[in-house]
Structure 1
Amino acid sequence: MKTERLTEEYFMPGDWLEIANKILKDRGVVMVLGATDTGKSICTLLFANFWAKHGRKVGIVDVDMGQSDLG
């Protein structure tokens, strides 16, 4: 499986790398959804790091749609 080194301790799995590259070409807004403990946070951080390394401006909004306040 192909991986890309992002930092000293993190690698992005090949299928995530393929998705990150596709989004990098298309641009736009990305929303990450999923159940508890499914890897949403690490996926978001790896993608953001990847896109920033490729010259994109990246912002992350952490919202729990099940809660009444924003974090």
Structure 2
Amino acid sequence: MAASNGHLPRTSAALREEIERTRADLATSVSALKVEVAEVTDWRQWVRKHPYACVGTAFLVGYLVGSRR
């Protein structure tokens, strides 16, 4: 017997299985997001990838701070 949305009604066991699968997918996604955020916010990684830009920025900031007497 089909439900009003055209799909067969799901059993409670099937729903539990889908919830567990969704929880596992969510946990994996959250873990991947944590790693990505840690990489993006790590200043050492920025210096490794863009050494000249970082040195130039540090020089510019030092100059601006030093010239504000």
Coarse TM-score class (shorter-chain normalised): under 0.3
Higher relative contact order (CA 8 A, sep 6+): 1
TM-score, structure 2 length as denominator? 0.27
| Structure with greater strand percent | 1
Higher Rg of the two aligned structures: 2
| Structure with greater helix percent | 2
